[in-house]
Every structure is written in structure tokens, then in C-alpha cells.
Amino acid sequence: MSFWTPVGGESMVHSLSPDVCLVHIFTPGHFIVNINETGHQHDQSMLKVHRDICGYCGCCVSVCPEGALELIDAYLCVEKSCTSCGICAKVCPLGALEVLHEK
Amino acid sequence: MKNKYDILVIGGGPAGALAAKTAVEMGLSACLVEKRPAIGAPVRCAEGIGKDALHEFIEPDPKWISAEMTGASIVAPDGFLMKLESGLAGNKVGYILDRKFFDRELVWKAAEAGADIAVKTRASAPIMENGCVKGAKIESCGKVTNVIADVVIAADGVESKFSRWCGIDTTVPVSEIMSSVQYVIADIDIDAHSTVFYLGNEIAPQGYLWVFPKGERSANVGIGISGKKSGEGHRAKDYLDRFVKKTFPCGKPIEYIAGGVSVCRPLKCTVADGLIIAGDAARVVDPLTGGGIYNSMYTGRLAAQVAAECIGKGDVSKNLIKQPDEKLNDIIHSVSKLNLKEFTTLSLLTEIIRVNPKLVLDLGALAASIR
């Protein structure tokens, strides 16, 4: 079960049930994931890809300990196994990745 | 594209191209898939290669050589410039390639030799049977095909996923990734035949900044900093922009590329049943120079040779596990040393330390980052 909430002018999908594991949010600018491997929401943090900054170089993909990132041509995909650990955001040469902590 | 090949190569960079070309030259059928719509772009490379290293694989062609280098310089943190002419830098130093055309040439040669090539086509999952890689699911323009192969060669670059899907951990430690950015800058005053390396923690923490000429008045101006030194407000781009503003205030950037360069040791295990990993995906970039073109071509070719040998014996599973991996790893390590010599960065560093011993302090950090 999910509903749409506008956040900062963007559309997001929130999962209402911890058993619903797929919460992939597509917006023109961002792709946000806030569900961990087990399908449970954890501390509401999520990885945000600033697509206007991303240089689709794959640096982040190589350091992701979960293998949760994949670069498909010029599009960085974030998979549900992302734990929002922030390693990718640290190494990104351009600053295109950000871990958002939502309360 | 057919549904079955002897060898399926994933990735159309130098490693993949050499793997496909070598495979067909050895009488095997091979298909190379490249996820991007064009071979050679985006470049994600400073494009330097030693002359001898290049000659080992292909005769130089002005079509894809941007500039010829006869010397190299290192600029110390205090601005001290150390120049090495060709004699000191190991004779004819090297070339700055035009990778867009160079990569195309390599893939073209693979195609001419008889390999099938598919662009904008990606491997989205391995096909596994009893733990053995038997091919890959290939996606192209919304269509998914199962392609069966005796051996899959994963040459899918720094952002490699295929080997990971097959159970091999390819994660690069944060301290061993060079977070990199590069501009091609036009209309600047440079020495058109000398590469310049800038060192120092203020310039490029635990890495270096490079100016590699692309012509009389243009150059690849890039930087790699250690992943552990990267963070908000002090990223590779921040350092590079500061340098460019100061050094080339009137330069005109005509290309902007980001990248990650692994400077870890090659993967401990570069093979699995039915799978061989080559190039950046196997983490074979030289940790000191950041150079990877030669090592990629080398491991790509070697992967195909090993695969052909095993296919010839009719046993890709068992034979692939041990003996070729040892061979591959041995060679990767020796290649690493070999390339170092050719690229002469070590001799540059040795020389600059001799001339200006104070630099050891600053270089210590660089050395620590690559250990």
C-alpha cells in the first residue's frame, strides 16, 4: 500500500507497510530508496542522486559494499539493498550523491 | 547476435576489445556487448600510455594519437619544477591517445577479425548452472535474450557488476579508489610535448593532478584524490576547479568527465567456473601511475588465450578455476611493475626526491595512500 506525497516539489512514494519492500521513487531529478535489504524501513535515511550533478562515471558503484548501485549507460540505479551508508556520497568526485536523514 | 558463442565479452573498452579480437583469431566465435550507445565515450581516462607498451599491441596511427610526449615534469607543492627529458624519463616516453578513436579502432579490429559486436546492449544477469557461468541475459532496446557461452569474459570496467553477480566481491576499499575529474581545456599555454604532474596535499591529497597535452594548446587537465580524503566541500572537482582558475584562468573547457580509478591490488581471484575477469573490472590499474590501458589490453588478451586453451581441452569449469588464475595473477603483478618502468613515474619520483629531499614528507602521504 502506498500513497503519493509531494516533498519539496517532488513526488515520492512512501511505503506504509514494513513488509512492502519496493519503494523506488522516480522523479525527473531524483531516485530515492529508503528500504533496506530485509525490506524494512530503517531510520528513514535514503540515498538521493542529484542527476543534474551526476557525471555517470561509476566511481560510486565500485565502492558500494552492498553492490546496490548500478550504472546503466548514463543512469545510476539504486537498488533496494542500499543501506544509506554514505560511502558512495563520500567518494563521488562531483558531489552528486547525498544521504538524506528524514525524521 | 546469435544465441550461442564460444566466448561472450562484456564491455567494449580496451580489455573487451582485445579479448574479442584474440578469441576470434584463435578460431573461436565471440560476441562483444557494450552497454553504451558508442564505443569510446565517455572517455574517463587521462589517455597516457608508454610507447613500448602501445607498440606491443598496435602500430601507432595519427588518427588516434593526440600528442607525442618526449618528457615529463613534476611540480612540487612549493612550486619547484623538476623536468625530465626523454633520456632521463626512459627514452621515447609515450603518447597521449585520443581514446574515442583508439577504442573504436580496437573494437573495429575485433569486428574485422570476425567478432560480433552489439552496442547499447547490456548483460543484466549471468546464466548460472550448478555454480558455473553459462552465459548471460542480454538486454537490448527492451528485448531480453539468453546468450549461452562456454566462457564469459567480464571486462565491464570500474563499475563492473557482472562478476559480482557471479559471486566475486569486487568492492574497492574507499582508501583505494581515486576520485577523479578531468577537463579537456582548449586555448592554454602549455609545453605540448611534456606531461606535468602536480603533487601535494594542498593540490591533490594523496593523489596527483595532471596536465597531459592533447595538442599544441589543449590538454587533459585532471585530478585524482584518495577516496578517503574526499567529502563535501573538498571533492576532486573542488580541487581541480581551484587549480584551473589559478593556472589556466583563460582556458576553455571543452569536455568534462568524472571517474573512479582503483589503485588496489588486482582481485585475488579473477576467475570462476566459466568466467574470467579482465581490465579495470579485475582492478589491474597500476596503483602508482593510475595507468590502465596497457594492463587492460594485456589482461583482455590473456583472458581470451586462457579461455581458448580451456575450451580446446573441453573443460572450462575445472581448468579455469586454478591454473589460469595463477597465470593471470602472476602476469598482472609483473605487468604492473613493467608498466611502472615504462611510464617512468617511479623514476620521476626517485629523481625529484633526490633533488629536493624535503618533498619526501609530502610524498609520504601519497605512498601511504597506495600501500
> For the domain that residue A73 is a member of, what is the CATH number?
3.30.70.20
> In which residue are the cell numbers 531529478 written?
A29
B80 inside 8 A of chain A by CB: no
Residues with Cβ within 8 Å of A2's Cβ and at least 6 positions away in sequence, in order, are: A13, A14, A15, A16, A20, A23
| Structural domain count, chain A | 1
Report the sign of the C-alpha dihedral through residues B33, B37, B43, B48, in that order: positive
| Domain chopping of chain B, boundaries | 4-370
Task: Report which DSSP code applies to A88.
Answer: H
Question: What integer pLDDT is reported at residue B345 of this predicted model?
Answer: 53
Task: Let me know: does B271 contact B321? Beta carbons within 8 Å.
Answer: yes
Q: What letter represents residue A46's amino acid? A: M
Whether the full predicted model's pTM is greater than 0.80, yes or no, is yes
Q: How far B229 CA sits from the closest chain A CA (Å)?
A: 8
pLDDT in tens, A71-81: 999 999 999 99
pLDDT of A67 reads 97
Note the pLDDT tens digit of each residue in B101-142.
999 999 999 999 999 999 999 999 999 999 999 999 999 999
Contacts of B231 (CB under 8 A, 6+ apart): A90
Q: What are the residues facing B225 on neighbouring strands?
A: B179
Q: For residues A44 and A36, is the Cβ–Cβ distance under 8 A?
A: no
Q: Which CATH number fits domain B4-370: 3.20.10.10, 3.50.50.60, 3.40.50.880, 3.90.100.10?
A: 3.50.50.60
SS3 category, A31: strand
Q: Tell me, what's the ipTM?
A: 0.88
Q: Do A59 and B120 lie within an 8 Å CB cutoff?
A: no
**In percent, how much of chain B has pLDDT > 90?**
68
Chain B residues with beta carbon closer than 8 angstroms to that of A72: 35, 122
A77 touches chain B (CB under 8 A): no
Asked if residue B318 has pLDDT above 60, the reply is no
- In whole angstroms, what is the distance from residue B356 CA to residue B347 CA? 14
Handedness of CA B225, B229, B235, B240 (dihedral sign): negative
Q: Chain B residues with CB inside 8 Å of A92's CB? A: 179, 230, 235
Q: How many CB atoms lie within 10 A of CB A95?
A: 18
Does residue B192 carry a pLDDT above 70?
yes
Residues B361 and B78: their CA atoms lie apart, in Å, by 12
Q: How far apart are CA B235 and CA A55, in angstroms?
A: 14
List, for residues B215-253, the tens digit of each pLDDT value: 999 999 999 999 999 999 999 999 999 999 999 999 999
At B84 the pLDDT is 75
**Could you count the other beta carbons within 10 Å of the beta carbon of residue B319?**
19
Size of interface A-B (CB pairs under 8 A): 98
Show the domain range for A83: 2-101
pLDDT in tens, B270-281: 889 999 999 999
